[in-house]
A = this chain, B = another copy of it.
Amino acid sequence: MRASRYLIATQKETPNDAVVISHQLMLRAGMIRRLSSGLYTWLPTGLRVLRKVERIVREEMNNAGALEVLMPVVQPAELWEESGRWQQYGPELLRIQDRHDNAFCLGPTHEEVITDLIRTEVNSYKQLPANFYQIQTKFRDEIRPRFGVMRAREFTMKDAYSFHLGADSLQETYDVMHDAYCRIFDRIGLDYRPVLADTGSIGGSHSHEFHVLAQSGEDDIAFSTESRYAANVELAEAVAPTGERPAPSKEMAELHTPGQKTIAALEEAFGIPASTSVKTLIVLGETEEEGATAPLVALVLRGDHDLNELKAEKLPGVASPLQFAPEARIADELGCGIGSLGPVGLNIDVIVDRAAAHLADFVCGANKDDYHFTGVNWERDAAISRIEDLRNVVPGDASPDGHGTLEIKRGIEVGHIFQLGTKYSEAMNATVLDENGKEQVMTMGCYGIGVSRVVAAAIEQNHDDAGIIWPEAIAPFQLAIVPINMQKSAAVQQKCEHIYEALTARGIDVLLMDEPKARLGAMLADVELLGIPHRIVVGDRGLEKGNVEYKGRRDSENQAFSADQILDILLEKIPH
């Protein structure tokens, strides 16, 4: 592409309304423009990237045996009523009426449409498994669209839906999709993790989110330093410390702690490390009969650990959703404020976190205001009802799969694979005849990639002060040719044109900065802002010495290469 025939549309100023770096850089690099809240036009540079992501997704979905279809954006209400989602979905579902007052919605997802299609087209187990995908425009009427295309209302998504007779077949396709997703993000060139995810209210046995690791992510991801293990921090198991609990070495003693009601206050006043104290949280237990008063339950964690509410509320004997006991009831039944609680002498269930249960000679509240105990030891001084995993993992914890330790980083969810089970197929009566001619409800999986979000996530992970740093596979251009005084120098022009033509002919995406009167500094700034992985500068002074200047986007210095050999050098550096 010649810049003179292109719309570069870069901007120097960072737009006021753009908070995250990808939003800022996509506007500044002329990739997108805002049309309205959560609605963006993709300019040529942005679209080039989007299409490259699409192509990789398409190729890998095809390789994985999925068949591409294209379903409408506009969907009839009847199907959503069949599945029950017409009522369940909130205002994110944009409901519309056509000229005949029939109800439709703009599709935020296509489970209903594909299930309707497949229940008609697929009648026999012989046609299963089947997996259909589309790369298509979705609409979700977000209450606060933000972060540019990261959380837009209209966006491009790859969504796939698989159909099966039974769970085993679903698991097989699920695994194939898992691998395809890994290949997709590998090819795009992102640092990502397939993350065990909560299946939420939909149920279903398995779900993985694919997260691109980046500081601006909205989720905390725990992952192993040595294996592929990764999980949302909420879901990552905190394994028990290895070895035996140390033997008691101190006597239990009372400590006067006036006004010290937190772990941090104790640490400051007495130099007691948080990791050697425990905190005791009182929550409501399960009631045995409806209407009965819920019993109190104590949850005990190491002072430096945080309660994981999701884990706690899943425990037998603990009310779900988790409810902390009112302070008045604690004072009444346990005789102290919440800052002085401890497990010693409690006559309620005491569920102890695995790490807290491994402590010896620890510090805890004395169940008496303004007093703590030191030198406390389990069993000798305090009873344990059960030992459970109650806490969020922290960096340095052992990885639950036994390989390496955990790191925690923020992640941007760009993909999600999900075993749906029979939620839709049952509601919509999507059945096939099995080997015995008996009707069976199909089992389903669904598999999404936020194609437009991938573009933003790639920038969140790959940028510096000068702009974007594209992974090679999705760069809008792979090479920028920057001429100095191309209009005046036949030698410069000839060299640039020659390189441009030769590389373009080999399918490499080259941007030739051929605009007359463009200043060198401005061109170089544009090339860096655009994030083009390779650039060369061609000028008379260099050519006189037989040289052309090369710089990779991540290089700190220019490098002079022989003008005669530059073509071969570029062909070696640039994938094609």
Q: What is the interface of chain A, defined by CB distance below 8 A to chain B?
A: 5-7, 9, 33, 35-37, 39-44, 47, 50, 65, 67-76, 91-92, 94, 96, 98-99, 102, 104, 106, 113, 116-117, 120-121, 127, 130, 132, 137, 139, 141, 143, 153-154
Contacts and interface: CB of A to CB of B under 8 A. Distances in A.
Contacts of A42: 69-71
Nearest to A65: B5
Contacts of A98: 94, 141, 153
Contact of A35 (B65, B72, B94, B96): B72
B121 A74 contact: no
Nearest to A91: B99
Contact of A72 (B65, B104, B116, B154): B154
Contacts of A154: 72-74
Nearest to A112: B35
B50 A70 contact: yes
Given A36-B76, A153-B74, A117 B41 contact: yes
A35 B99 contact: no
- A-side binding surface: helix, strand, loop or mixed? mixed
Contacts of A141: 98-99
Contact of A71 (B35, B70, B132): B35
A43 B121 CA distance: 10
17 contacts: A7-B130, A35-B113, A40-B72, A41-B70, A43-B121, A44-B68, A44-B69, A47-B69, A73-B73, A74-B106, A74-B154, A91-B99, A92-B99, A94-B96, A94-B99, A98-B141, A99-B143
A71 B113 contact: no
B121 A7 contact: yes
A132 to B, nearest CB: 8
A159 to B, nearest CB: 13
Contacts of A68: 44, 47
A462 B121 CA distance: 27
Residue among A9, A70, A92, A127 facing the most chain B CB atoms (10 A cut-off): A70
Nearest to A517: B126
Contacts of A43: 69, 121
Contacts of A75: 35-36, 39
A511 to B, nearest CB: 13
A44 B67 contact: yes
Nearest to A114: B41
**7 closest residue pairs by CB, A with B:** A42-B70, A91-B99, A36-B76, A39-B72, A44-B67, A96-B96, A41-B71
Contacts of A104: 36
A12 to B, nearest CB: 15
A47 B50 CA distance: 20
A126 to B, nearest CB: 9
Residue among A40, A44, A72, A117 facing the most chain B CB atoms (10 A cut-off): A72
A65 B1 CA distance: 10
B113 A41 contact: yes
A94 B104 CA distance: 11
Residue among A42, A120, A127 facing the most chain B CB atoms (10 A cut-off): A42
A65 B94 CA distance: 37
A99 B117 CA distance: 29
Given A41-B69, A47-B69, A98-B141, 8 more contacts: A7-B67, A33-B121, A39-B72, A42-B70, A42-B71, A44-B67, A50-B70, A92-B99
A127 B4 CA distance: 8
A113 B36 CA distance: 10
A117 to B, nearest CB: 6
A33 B99 contact: no
A65 B41 CA distance: 20
A75 B153 CA distance: 12
B69 A35 contact: no
Nearest to A92: B99
A5 B64 CA distance: 11
A236 B357 CA distance: 94
Contacts of A117: 33, 35, 41
A217 B7 CA distance: 39
Contacts of A139: 73-74
A456 to B, nearest CB: 15
B137 A76 contact: no
Nearest to A1: B67
Contacts of A69: 41-44, 47
